[in-house]
Structure 1
Amino acid sequence: MTTKIFIDGDAGTTGLEIRERLAGRADIEIVAIPAEKRKDVEAKRAILAAVEIAILCLPDDAAKETVALCDALGDKAPRLLDASTAHRVAPGWVYGFPELCAGQPEAIAKAARVANVGCYATGSIALLRPLVDAGLIQPDQQLTINAVSGYSGGGRQMIESYKKGEAPAFELYGLSLEHKHLPEIMAYAKLSVRPLFVPSVGNFRQGMLVSIPLALDALPGKPEAADVEAAYRRHYEGAPHVRVVPAPAAGRLDALALNGTDDMEVFVFANEPRRHAVLVARLDNLGKGASGAAVQNLDLMIGGGKRA
């Protein structure tokens, strides 16, 4: 039995990556709008009514427009998997991060509407939620999150500037300190105090490192680094796409090492005599940080839990 899927926005980076991952699968039929009718609202409405799941790879406003079309379809509306930022903290949407907590895969599998997790949020929440749940970090802890991504996560204008050789080798951005991923990071890491989030982009297409420095003596109970790593191992036990990895002795990490995969690695670097630690998540921003996560959620939604 096949599931009919419509990828709304399949010409963009995330949509293309999802289509590539689904290519050749016998259990999925991808239904597309003819190129000449891409802006035809009635054509889109007809496709939405004919498929079981629609994946939205659109800017936020366009995603909201498609959701409004689905609302008007009533019982004929498809289930939705939204890869935009528009619905990540919206009522009625299930957050598409299966490793968030116990029961999250089941919630995604049953949901009518799933909001795919953001790339920076994937690494940030993966590092913070297990420690908040374990009581090792308080929700009101003042935290700093640093991150670097490949330029493919920065949208069309940034991608074009790097491809043309007009962009710098490395740059900080989002220095208004109002990054769009902060609401979901706070909501799903269960933080009550807004973290200081500093993103950056490097001159490489894909790959991501998210890092959070910690003063261990400032945490509840003054844990050792081994306690932090143990909390991660308990939380991610059995998770097929998240691995807790011993920190390399060299004290260095390659941001590109997981490119082409849908996995994420979690590290705890520590200097116990100094009582300092740095938590790091490594992932492909187009894999576990976007399209790979969407396919993981899609598989849960169509009952393909073994692939999730």
Structure 2
Amino acid sequence: MAKIPTVFIDGEAGTTGLQIRERLAILPDIAVRSIDPSRRKDPTARLALMAEVDLVVLCLPDDAAKESTAMAASLGADAPRLVDASTAHRVDPDWVYGLPELTPDQPARIAAAMRVSNPGCYPTGAILLLRPMIEAGLLPADHPISVNAVSGFSGGGNAMIAAYESRTAPDFELYGLTLEHKHVLELQQYSGLTRRPIFVPSVGDFRQGMIDSIPLHLDTLPGKPKPADIEALLAARYAGSDYVRVVPGTAKLEPQALNNTNLLELRVHGSEARGQAILTARYDNLGKGASGAAVQNIGLMLGIAVETRLPAAAE
């Protein structure tokens, strides 16, 4: 009988870690190993568990993720494979970027990797919208791009979650207005943009769900593409994808419809008469934007078909 692969979530008490654990709990072909809560910050206990498992998921702040990576590396040939859910290694060339839909060969690269960096929530949708257009020549790599995004408050960490749950936070808030948000470099690198995009994130008074939106003046683009041309390009690019769907544009869009799944919907809301379009990506910031994406990567790395939804959504 084949050995069931084992996974240790380093930092499983956090929001992303808890949801990864819930998703893995319904998979019969993966065994999750946990550390005694009283020893979760004990380096000796963590290293011992790392030596026993096949894969470790890092659900930690950036500095702690780097420390855990060095700890795992100290095991040499016995080092486990890693999936890092932090920002620490997303643009590191020694790590494989964990967005399977990035290119046709990305799933194979992830499957073969020892170290995979899970994508950031905000960049995921924008990258999947922009990269096909740049590769096809519909959008110049140096075109000035603005990405506007709204997320549920669960993506903002423990302090933000506490503020919203205690009703001390505003109903809606723009942030990152210094134009130095940590996701910008990742967004630029994997979309293929050569000009730094403007990124405007925001948070609303709902727990989870996300929309990225990118406005375009189509008459400024090569060949002046119509909205239907962009939609057709995206539909061809993601045809057959398990999780990314290209669906018709709408007059309104709310962010929570895909919560607790790993699905992502791309839309082109356009006016051919006006020569304008708004590209949108809707998904769960804790699903395809975090824990669902991590489980998708774990499945590729361990060679196992996985269910990426939470148990309640899978019923």
- Please give the TM-score of this superposition, normalised by the length of structure 1: 0.98
Equivalent position of 2:82 in the other structure? 80
Equivalent position of 2:62 in the other structure? 60
Alignment of 1:122-271 (within 5 A): 122-248=124-250, 251-271=251-271
Name the CA shift for 1:307/1:18 in 2 (closer, same or farther; >3 Å): closer
Equivalent position of 1:25 in the other structure? 27
* d(CA) in 1 for partners of 2:91, 2:261: 27
What is the count of residue pairs matched by the alignment?
306
Equivalent position of 1:7 in the other structure? 9
Report SS of the residue matched to 1:50: coil
Report SS of the residue matched to 1:81: strand
* d(CA) in 1 for partners of 2:305, 2:27: 15
* d(CA) in 2 for partners of 1:94, 1:307: 22
- Give the % identical residues: 57
- Please give the TM-score of this superposition, normalised by the length of structure 2: 0.95
Equivalent position of 1:119 in the other structure? 121
* d(CA) in 1 for partners of 2:164, 2:120: 22
Instruction: Provide Cα deviations, 1:201-256, integer angstroms capped at 9, x if missing partner.
Output: 000000001000000011111111111011101110110100000112xx100111
Instruction: Provide Cα deviations, 1:78-136, integer angstroms capped at 9, x if missing partner.
Output: 00000000000102100000000110001001100000011001111011111111111
Gaps of 5+ in 2: 309-315
Verify: 1:43 aligned to 2:45, yes or no.
yes
* d(CA) in 2 for partners of 1:26, 1:271: 48
Letter aligned with residue 252 of structure 1: K
Letter aligned with residue 122 of structure 2: Y
* d(CA) in 1 for partners of 2:101, 2:93: 20
Name the CA shift for 1:252/1:241 in 2 (closer, same or farther; >3 Å): same
Instruction: Provide Cα deviations, 1:131-154, integer angstroms capped at 9, x if missing partner.
Output: 111111111110000000000000
Residues 23 and 307 of structure 2 are in contact (CA less than 8 Å); yes or no, is this contact kept in structure 1? no
Equivalent position of 2:285 in the other structure? 285
Q: CA deviation at 1:305?
A: 4.9
Equivalent position of 2:303 in the other structure? 303
Name the CA shift for 1:306/1:110 in 2 (closer, same or farther; >3 Å): same
Name the CA shift for 1:188/1:42 in 2 (closer, same or farther; >3 Å): same
Q: CA deviation at 1:306?
A: 7.0
Q: CA RMSD in A?
A: 1.0
* d(CA) in 1 for partners of 2:223, 2:269: 19
Q: CA deviation at 1:38?
A: 1.3
* d(CA) in 2 for partners of 1:201, 1:194: 22
Q: CA deviation at 1:168?
A: 0.7
Report SS of the residue matched to 1:298: helix
Letter aligned with residue 79 of structure 1: R
Equivalent position of 2:312 in the other structure? none
Residues 295 and 306 of structure 2 are in contact (CA less than 8 Å); yes or no, is this contact kept in structure 1? no
* d(CA) in 2 for partners of 1:164, 1:36: 27
Report SS of the residue matched to 2:278: strand
Equivalent position of 2:94 in the other structure? 92
Report SS of the residue matched to 2:273: helix
